[in-house]
Structure 1
Amino acid sequence: MLGRGLRVLGQAIRTEPRLFVIGTVGSSVFGLLIIANSYVIGFVTGHIVVPAFADGSVRTGSLALVVAILLGISGLRVASIFGRRLGAGYMQFRLQARYRRAVTRRYLSLPPSWHQKHATGTLLSNANSDVEAAFVPIAPLPFAVGTIVMIFGAMAVLFATDWVLALVGVALFPTLFALNLAYSRRMSPRQIHAQRMRAKVSAVAHESFDGALVVKTMGREADESRRFGVFVSELRDALISVGRLRGVFDPLMDSLPSVGTLAVLVIGTWRLQTGAISVAELVSVAFLFTVLAFPVRAIGWVVGELPRSVAGWERVQAVLSAEGDLPYGAVGVPGSGPVELRFEQVNYRYAGGPPVLTDVTFTVPAGQTVALVGATGSGKSTIASLAVRLVDPESGSVALDGVKLPDLAGSALAGTAALVPQIPFVFDDTVRGNISLDRDGITDDAVWHALRLAQADRFVGGLPAKLDTEVGERGTSLSGGQRQRLTLARALAGHPRLLVLDDATSAVDPRVEAAILGALRDRDSGTSILVVAYRRATIALADLVVYLHQGRVVATGTHLSLMDSQPGYRDLVTAYEKAEQQ
């Protein structure tokens, strides 16, 4: 654990070397000033206080000089404390900010398949409490390093003063280090377990809050509270175990320097009687052991937090080193108009599962609308994800204007194709912010144009602050259909050359859906559209229909031709129509 912890600290130092140097220099100066201060106190005692008792008079000039020296040392100590805390604090917070950004960037770069294996609450814990835990020892680290410098300096001074008293320090300091090592070994499993339970509590809490509507409508409040209480109780017990061990360790660490001070006084009195040392030297050494207690605790703080730091660091590294990236090329999509989307013998399965798509081949011609029709579980949403490269096929290829998606640069793909998913996601922002997403070139005129295409301009125009209206978390102030139209407008504002609609208009009535698709078809620039469709009216608007069954393309053609030639297609479409009429 000590080795793993030191590697974490080494990584932190390599990341922020300048701030570490500032903090360490300040701490080292502080430690050396403590040694200097102890010898000034000893000088005052031996050369001013004791003679004053013997002679009955005080030498004012010497006393004034000593006071000036003490004030000067105090001023330098204040400056050194400022440097130590500034360097350590700034280093800690910069590291936390750096790695929170790194974890978040990694989340955004990993594919949906990776996220499906990890609870949202756990991911929140990785980016928050785990990053914080990883760099908790950074705050006392410069102090601890400066303390080590001080200890070596103190030992040198002790041996220069009296080798017998120096042996007390030789016995004391290794004991302190041994105690810290023993503490670290016992604390490590406790801290790791506590860190895991923090993530578990966060995951359960997030799931309960996110599913609050289900919990309340199903009357499961008490059950959810009990479920949450089990994990909270386990976290409480883990933290109590940590606290108990710390409750034993802290008093031991506090008492050892005091024991050292008593030993110095006992042995020092004997050495004083033999004439080996003076009163000034005895007072200096005793005072030095007294003031060493607090700085030496800094070493204990660092060692004590190493298990928690290692637990947090390893959980953060598990995210940063996660595999599953979709590598991008450097090629762009030629031209500026609508693109052709081509699936060629595509096969796909989710990890460990049965085949979802088998030998899927079809084309979305440039500027045309193609409808994907099939029963639930036939692979329509998977095709939508493949079309914008949220996932890659097991075999086969997906291409835009003849360029395979893995060969495209990430920015080229994002600027060419846009997906509007089944479940609309709306940020806790204004209408304008949700549509523009701070993308360059998207003015208010462009936002209103996208809203008109999505048939959302009327309801946005009726909002209290129009584009400046705050829609709330996940768009709670909007209806399901309004959220769908906002997410559609968001996609359209970027002028995509390929638009993939994964049942993206299911919450709007058929007339609004027909108006949306009609507006998209009539755009001056033209856009290729792949739409997952259920309603007969929507399907009829498509230039071409791809009929899927159990992950295979059964037939491709116009809606009318498939109605005549494919009984399964006819039954499926009329079944949706009958269900809507009921």
Structure 2
Amino acid sequence: MSGTFLSGMRTLARGAREEPRLFGTAIVGSAVYGAGTAATGWLVGRVTDRVVVPAVTGSGSVGTAEVWLAGGALMAVTVVTVAGILVRRIWAGMVAFALQARYRRLLARRYLDLPLAWHHAHPAGRLLATAGSDVEATWQAMFVLPFALGVVVLIAVAGVAMAAADPVLAAVALLVLPALLAANVVYQRRMSPRVTRVQQLRGEVSTTAHESFEGALVVKTLGLGEEEVQRFAADADRLREANVAAGRTRGGFEPVIDALPSLGTLAVLVVGTFRAASGAVGVGDLVQIAYLLGLLAFPVRSFGWVLSELPRTVAGDARVQAVLREGATTPWGERSLPAGEGAGPLAVAADGIGYRHPVPAADPLDERADVPEQFVRRGEPRAPRREPVPALAGVTLDVAAGSTVAVVGGTGAGKSTLAGLLVRLVDPTSGTVLLDGVDVRELADGQVAGVAALVPQSTFVFDDTVRGNIALGLDADDVPAGRRVDDDDIWEALRLARADGFIAALPGGLDELVGERGSTLSGGQRQRLALARALVRKPRLLVLDDATSALDPTVERAVLDGLAASGTGTTVVVVAYRPATIALADEVVHLERGRVVDRGPAAEVAARDAGYRDLVTAYARAARERADEAQHGTGMA
């Protein structure tokens, strides 16, 4: 408990330092609320002695002016107290939301700064959860913390007022506070693991739902709808059971916490009656103490609320800080390369490059000693630590400026990894990648993206217009004049990608919305749109990672012929399978198990490399076999 408490309070103190004005205003409002509440109790005692008792017993005359004065004083204090409550609640919410927004921005910036290899080792679902629920959990206690600090003022002022009225009754009344605090501590200890379990299961339910929705096509085509419903229902049932367990704990403790102030008030009234009868204390003082004690019941529970949120604060902050403190970065140099039209094609070289895929990273909560035990999942089998998986080993490659090179290999040969290395999506674990003789790690940030473009095999299209998808980032006001594009540039890129025809046929043309992930377009249309997005940037190096796989051979040939005849001054590296695509290349590189097996003109490699020959003739061979089978079947018939 002490470790969790200290860690949580350090996190909340950091938040207070980062938003001092908002937090300070919330504290002032809470202090006004505490002082006003205590002042109300003192006024009730005075009004009882000077107005109520004389009016009821007839022991003195009470004028209308005195009644109005008493009512006005109570009204004034009440208005001030309500104002303090409003300031406390509004500004406490502003603190919490400001901190959530601040850390979500920090995480978004950090996610973009971290290299792609780091992202490969961290599931996207966990990263989204960190930016969402973990940030929210970290600062949830900020909604209640100013209230709890204001209660300290209330207790201090109320204690002084009680002691001034009657030390004996004050001592009887204040005995309730330790009991309330003890009950809150026990409640927090019992509730924390249950609340934590609820939060974990909420994440699992969200993950299952997200997978089912994202994989709707797979679920429907395989007829797995009922299985997915049952999987979701099982997660939902576990969440229900966890919520019920938390509700039972809450239901057991809340009546105790509610009853303690009432018992304390009863004790004050019993003892106070005897003391009032003996003349040791006035009726007003007795009413004041009983009233103040009743007022303390609800605010004191705020300590329990803060305590119950601290474990979530610690767990959420652990995941957030694990990202923000991540040491992995993409180092950039200061060198630059000419970009844009007229700069000429790039010469590309890979000098003994190797790459190993990173292994999935563990949850940071599992590796922190100061995180509460209940936040670390127990009893679940954990996969053993694996070594990084090698993808490329000692690949050396020279691509002459303006040439077209086809990279050919079987599944898992390392083709996509090589494509990513050439445009510095990741850095090699050994060797260097050179663009015009310059190590890509020596180039300044943005230089590689300015001279090279990659069209990946998995095409991503934004839920935007055609224009917005192609001119992505190049049509803003702050883009340098040499990089900004207009509609003429977009149509030229579409023509080269053989996409101008179907775009012109769309009702909105360039202004047509293509839907989420390009849902209104076919696979081939999305690929051509992505190709146009790369071409509009006039790259000096164009890397096509199987980027025409969804095109029919006729369209693919037209696209590649158009690129070859365009005279755009671009070096092209294409991951290819089809003989028609390979035939357009000046040179072929055959990869196998992460190594270059052979390279050279397609005909020469085919003559001496049996593995390459098998790959490129597989389609034709399969077609011949099917034709032979069909003919044989007809003859048998």
Taking structure 1 as the reference length, the TM-score comes to 0.94
Counterpart position of 1:470: 513
Aligned with 1:505: secondary structure? coil
- 1:50 to partner: Cα distance: 0.9
Indicate the residue corresponding to 1:232 in structure 2.
Answer: 236
Q: Is the 8 A contact 1:125 1:202 kept in 2?
A: no
Classify the secondary structure of the residue corresponding to 1:399: strand
User: In structure 2, how many angstroms separate the alpha carbons of the residues matched to 1:366 and 1:468?
Assistant: 36
Q: Which residue of 1 aligns with 2:595?
A: 552
- Taking a change above 3 Å as real, the CA distance of residues 109 and 249 of structure 1, as seen in their structure-2 partners, is farther
Q: What is the alpha-carbon distance in structure 2 between the residues aligned to residue 306 and residue 574 of structure 1?
A: 64
Matches within 5 A, 1:41-440: 41-55=44-58, 57-322=61-326, 324-334=328-338, 336-351=343-358, 352-439=387-474, 440=479
Deviation per residue, 1:136-195 (Å, 9 max, x gap): 211111111111111112122222222112213442222222222222222232233222
1:28 aligns with 2:35: no
Question: Equivalents in 1 of 2:427, 2:283: separation in Å?
Answer: 81
Q: Cα distance, 1:353 vs. partner?
A: 5.0
Deviation track 1:270-311 (CA, whole Å, cap 9, x = no partner) reads 222232322222111111111222222222222222223333
Q: Give SS of 1:386's match.
A: helix
The C-alpha deviation readout for 1:381-414, integer Å capped at 9, x for no partner, is 1101111222222211112122222222332222
Closer, same or farther: CA 318–188 of 1 in aligned 2, 3 Å? farther
Distance 1:334 1:436, change over 3 A: closer
Change (3 A) 1:166 1:363: same
User: Does the alignment pair 1:443 with 2:447?
Assistant: no
Contact 2:173 2:289 in 1 (8 A): no
Per-residue deviation, 1:579: 4.6
Gap change, CA 1:437 and 1:270, over 3 Å in 2: farther
CA distance in 1 between partners of 2:623 and 2:118 (Å): 36
Letter in 2 for 1:356: A
For residues 16-41 of structure 1, what are the alpha-carbon distances to aligned partners after superposition, in whole Å with 9 as ceiling and x for unaligned?
12111111100110110111111111
Residues paired across the two proteins, number: 582
Question: Root-mean-square deviation (CA), in Å?
Answer: 2.2
Pair 1:571-2:575 in alignment = no
Structure 1 partner of 2:527:
484
1: CA distance between counterparts of 2:262 and 2:573? 78
CA distance in 1: counterparts of 2:622 and 2:336, whole angstroms: 44
* Conserved? CA contact 1:180–1:300, under 8 Å: yes
After superposition, the Cα gap between the structure-2 partners of 1:69 and 1:580, relative to the gap in structure 1 and judged at 3 Å, is: farther
**Range that drifts further, 337-346 or 400-409:** 400-409
Query: What is the aligned counterpart of 1:19 among 22, 42, 47?
Result: 22
- Helix, strand or coil: the match of 2:175? helix
Structure 1 CA distance, aligned partners of 2:118 and 2:389?
18
Letter in 2 for 1:83: V
Tell me the distance in 2 between the aligned counterparts of 1:495 and 1:450.
9
In the alignment, the residues of structure 1 paired with residue 243 and residue 399 of structure 2 have an alpha-carbon distance, to the nearest angstrom, of: 58
Q: What whole-Å deviation, never above 9, does each CA across 1:420-461 have from its counterpart, x for those lacking one?
A: 111111122222222222433233333222222211111111
**1:254 and 1:297 in contact (8 A); partners too:** no
Q: Give the structure 2 partner of residue 503 of structure 1.
A: 546
CA deviation digits over 1:119-143, x for unaligned, max 9? Answer: 4433332222222222221111111
Does structure 1 conserve the Cα–Cα contact (< 8 Å) formed by 2:338 and 2:451? no
**2:558 is the counterpart of 1:515:** yes
Distance change in 2, residues 1:69/1:333 (3 Å): same
Q: Distance in 2 between matches of 1:575 and 1:230?
A: 46
Instruction: Note closer, same or farther for the CA distance 1:442–1:143 as it changes in structure 2 (3 Å cut).
Output: farther
Q: d(CA) in 2 for partners of 1:303 and 1:187?
A: 10
One-letter amino acid of the counterpart of residue 90, structure 2: L
| Range moving further from structure 2, 52-61 or 74-83 | 52-61
- Distance 1:236-1:117 versus aligned 2 partners, 3 A rule: farther
1:176-229 per-position Cα deviation (integer Å, ceiling 9, x unaligned): 222222222222322332222222222222222222112112111112222222
**How many angstroms apart in 2 are the aligned matches of 1:73 and 1:580?**
91
Distance 1:274 1:512, change over 3 A: same
Q: Contact between 1:184 and 1:306, CA under 8 Å: does it hold in 2? A: no
Most deviating of 570-579 and 354-363:
570-579
Distance 1:424 1:312, change over 3 A: same
CA distance in 1, matches of 2:389, 2:261: 67
Deviations 1:313-339 (A, max 9, x none): 323333334454333333323564322
Q: Distance in 2 between matches of 1:63 and 1:256?
A: 34
1:410 alignment partner, SS class: coil
- CA distance in 2 between partners of 1:208 and 1:321 (Å): 33
The separation in 1 between residues aligned to 2:405 and 2:623, in whole angstroms, is: 22
Distance 1:99 1:354 in 2: 33
Q: Distance in 1 between matches of 2:157 and 2:334?
A: 58
**What code does the residue aligned with 1:7 have?**
R
The match for 2:497 is 454
In structure 1, what residue type is equivalent to 2:506? L
